Structure 1
């Protein structure tokens, strides 16, 4: 019930804001609601158990700060240390992380698209649960990366590297984002895009990653964890013909069809189109390894928030309202269905009640 009320609140606000063209400042109640919902959760979310173990294991003693068996990055460890030194609990950490992630993503959406209400609604599909109730550390890193995309377009490499370096303090996956600066802003022919997709589809049908990790000398640390994921009977399993696969395919087909129109409408279209292609290629390339589709995919899936919002350029105001109503139904269906797919989100518990 709590999840349904939350997504209904967001949907109603998104529809109202589309009709009345609400100022970004008036989105504050929704932002606060999202932060409180994720930030005050207790024994809820599939990351709760591991983060609780890490919080209890992390010492506030300066000499033992990084003496923790859990694979946590230094930025997240220091945040836990700061909270523990003030006598705080784990929910303090979640609240700070949620406030940071949600606020920064909202600010970024406001930079990249004029359709703010639509962007916030799509965040509920492509980011909220993933970043704030599942992969908290990676969520903070992705929020920083999302914000830094503007510096790729403006060709400010120092600012881009600086923001990514902060992201790296919270999740090691930020490492793969540095090279993107040099090619993701360019426009490529649709022919080359289709060839890339076909290539990833073919390679993805093999066990290429399993052969790679068996070939490389991997002894310990995060590399050993990656090998464990690949060879796992739980995480190293196929994930191709999923709901998400067809969803991305349809979105890319629409973007390709109206490519020329959309690239004229917004200067950020090319870069978010390229990121969406990367997200789809990850789905294909790692189709035999579910964990990498999930963990790498969420980095680039956030681009669909912006790309889909650009479809509004193709519509009149009345059609935009109908479009957001349809998306509200879709996002609500996905959101409620997802939280009820296991027992990690249900029942929802909060330190407030």
Structure 2
């Protein structure tokens, strides 16, 4: 019988990190000689696509998307398409946004195997990431490494819908800079058709390009740490009050989430908190030097403001673990860009220190984030994953894996 937790599940992820780390070193060697990194870029994209696109049934969201894909009609069945969009006799379909339903129908019309959805999803994601890191990152591979370390795995495995909204938002950042509201809202309107969380991106157009006052930045950071470390609950009363105001199922949901330790327990002092605390200080200490590298003041403000929102969300919503997971992921892309800029401004000796810490921390993250059985890696190119076994594993082990964080 396979155990719920074991470090034997981690090696494929460590190996993936090692490949990207080698590509990172190779890229830097090429850059020193003013060479072209095109080969490194293509290898980076290929490794990403094979690892994520051809994965088996990993993590938990296949439980949602597999039956949706199985129930989806093809374009040859117009009546089935109408039923699929209306969600007749399939309540869970009502939770799936129309943009994602359209994508599923198109893919199902090409190939009926569920894995085709994962393949195309990963292809879309890696093309967006390639665009993002080519356009904004001074270190291409380091951007991918930061993606892996900071939320990338959960985005690829569990956020098939959310990821499209996130990447469309990333694409729309240029329209904030250019002050082009039509293109910005069209991009994120399409994102909204894939996941409702895209609604949080709409207000950002009006202020994300502006520099936040230092008093606001540091004041919110200090207050957030007080709330976080003191485990002061102020969200819970608000959630319960709103639930009671609307009554019925909303009241029950609010009380249920507030009383369930799986959803409402804060994280406490963890490696994640320590990392975020020192990252905040490091980024804002380096603000002026990074600004000289980015040169475009609006883009500088956009990435720092995204990071600020990420950090404040993490600290202020600490009493709701589920809110931390969902909300911070919407703004984590700031990490993928700002850390490569920190690397570029370092002197040679500190670059070596950064590289050494990156190797240790990345290895640590890959080992400890993937040591449970639902992350046991399988690839359809050389394995034969089955849905029955995947369901068996998740039903047997999910309660232990998603138990309250301590």
Higher relative contact order by CA 8 Å / sep ≥ 6: 1 or 2?
2
Q: Residue 392 of structure 2 corresponds to which residue in structure 1?
A: none
Matches of 1:226 and 1:31, distance apart in 2? 42
**Does residue 1:350 correspond to 2:350, yes or no?**
no
Instruction: Select 2:314's aligned residue among 280, 283, 300.
Output: 283
Gaps of 5+ in 1: none
1:133-144 equivalences in 2 (<5 Å): 133-144=157-168
Matches of 1:182 and 1:274, distance apart in 2? 12
Q: Residue 357 of structure 2 corresponds to which residue in structure 1?
A: 326
* Partner deviation per Cα, 1:203-226 (whole Å, 9 max, x = no partner): 6621424334423416679x9978
After TM superposition, the score normalised by the length of structure 2 is 0.79
Deviation at 1:78, TM superposition (A): 1.5
Maintained 8 Å contact 2:240/2:255 = no
Deviation at 1:28, TM superposition (A): 0.9
Matches of 1:65 and 1:224, distance apart in 2? 29
Instruction: Select 1:69's aligned residue among 87, 91, 98.
Output: 91
Deviation at 1:97, TM superposition (A): 0.9
User: SS at 1:339's partner residue?
Assistant: coil
Q: How many residues align?
A: 350
**Does residue 1:94 correspond to 2:108, yes or no?**
no
Alpha carbons of structure 1 residues 225 and 132: separation in structure 2 relative to 1, 3 Å: farther
Alpha carbons of structure 1 residues 257 and 163: separation in structure 2 relative to 1, 3 Å: same
* Partner deviation per Cα, 1:130-177 (whole Å, 9 max, x = no partner): 211122211121111122112212222222111111111111100011
Alpha carbons of structure 1 residues 165 and 25: separation in structure 2 relative to 1, 3 Å: farther
Q: Residue 385 of structure 2 corresponds to which residue in structure 1?
A: none
Matches of 2:68 and 2:247, distance apart in 1? 24
CA RMSD, Structure 1 to Structure 2 (Å): 2.4
Maintained 8 Å contact 2:243/2:254 = no
Q: Residue 271 of structure 2 corresponds to which residue in structure 1?
A: 243
Maintained 8 Å contact 1:229/1:291 = no
**Does residue 1:179 correspond to 2:208, yes or no?**
no
Matches of 1:23 and 1:82, distance apart in 2? 37
Matches of 1:206 and 1:110, distance apart in 2? 42
User: SS at 2:373's partner residue?
Assistant: coil
Matches of 1:227 and 1:18, distance apart in 2? 53
Gaps of 5+ in 2: 1-10, 75-79, 383-406
Matches of 2:245 and 2:25, distance apart in 1? 52
